[in-house]
Amino acid sequence: MTEFDRKTYGDADHAKTHRRLEPGKDRDTPEIAADFETLMRDGYVIIKNLIPVETCEYIKRDSLKLLGETGRNSFEGRDTQRVYNVLGKTDALDELATHPHILGLMDRFFQPSFLLSQSQIINIQPGESAQGLHHDDSFYRIPRPRQPLGAATIWAIDEFTETNGATVVIPGSHEWGEGRTGKRSEAIPAVMPQGSVIFFLGTTWHGGGENRSDKARFAVTHQYCESYVRQQENYLLELSKERVRAMSPELQSLVGYSIFPPFMGMVNGMHPLRTLQDA
């Protein structure tokens, strides 16, 4: 029961307790601590071979059927296929969103009850040009330098190489002030094997790479945000209650069925998980 529940409803039967998810031992390891140091120094960290190749192959087999038209503009990529509302279309990407190593990094610089901000499949096809450099939480209109309000993962479901469109990133750019713009000459490619992930802060300058190869580059991104800012994706409208009921408690919390104390996220004065009990 939240403090809001107690003050408003006391210990009445209808004010059912919903415990906040707390980090477990698998989210507090020496490896996570070391990656966090790199993240805060450089603005990003590459974690190699975090999931098995077999998992990548399963994700790709399951998700290829979802691919359709290419992007609507140069930012989305004229030769890039993007799938939105992926959590409503497949559960194959759930374990990436809730991977303990990623959530362990989040625990170290975000408030408890942080949220998933958006999820996408990004398939960069041969011939795609480089995406414009940007930082992901620029839509939060707070001047830099500042703490990041978002963070992102890009999972290499295919190997990322210098020629197939690997994400590029500018080390140290997370600390830049207002008005400084990233240049392509400052960026380095996130070369990594299949099953790896790059994790970067919302203030870090980066962009999709040019695909000069003869094969597409398949990736999955999950982006996160502080629990007190607005998510990019409206999961509460996208996802059916049946889908949310089938999710793990971690993913339910991430998509918005959670409370940032004392009451942000409430529904009719109560915890949003109560709505899943409705007929």
- The per-residue pLDDT for 26 is 81
Strand partners, 168: 189, 207
CA 64, CA 17: separation in Å to the nearest integer? 41
pTM of the model: 0.91
Question: Which pLDDT tens digit goes with each residue over 141-177?
Answer: 999 999 999 999 999 999 999 999 999 999 999 999 9
CA 246, CA 238: separation in Å to the nearest integer? 15
Question: Which pLDDT tens digit goes with each residue over 115-147?
Answer: 999 999 999 999 999 999 999 999 999 999 999
Q: Contact, 128 vs 79, CB < 8 A?
A: yes
Could you tell me the end-to-end alpha-carbon distance of the chain, in angstroms, rounded to an integer? 22
Show the DSSP H helices in 12-77 as ranges. Answer: 30-42, 53-63
Q: Contact, 227 vs 238, CB < 8 A?
A: no
Q: In order of start, what are the domains of the chain with their CATH numbers? A: 21-258 (2.60.120.620)
- The per-residue pLDDT for 162 is 96
Dig out the tokens for 100 from the structure.
Answer: 């303990």
Which residues does 156 contact at the CB level (< 8 Å), separation at least 6? 56, 192, 193, 194, 195, 196, 197, 198, 219
- The per-residue pLDDT for 58 is 98
Query: What phi, psi does 39 have (nearest 5°)?
Result: -60, -45
- The per-residue pLDDT for 163 is 98
List of the chain residues with pLDDT < 70 = 1-24, 278-279
- The per-residue pLDDT for 277 is 87
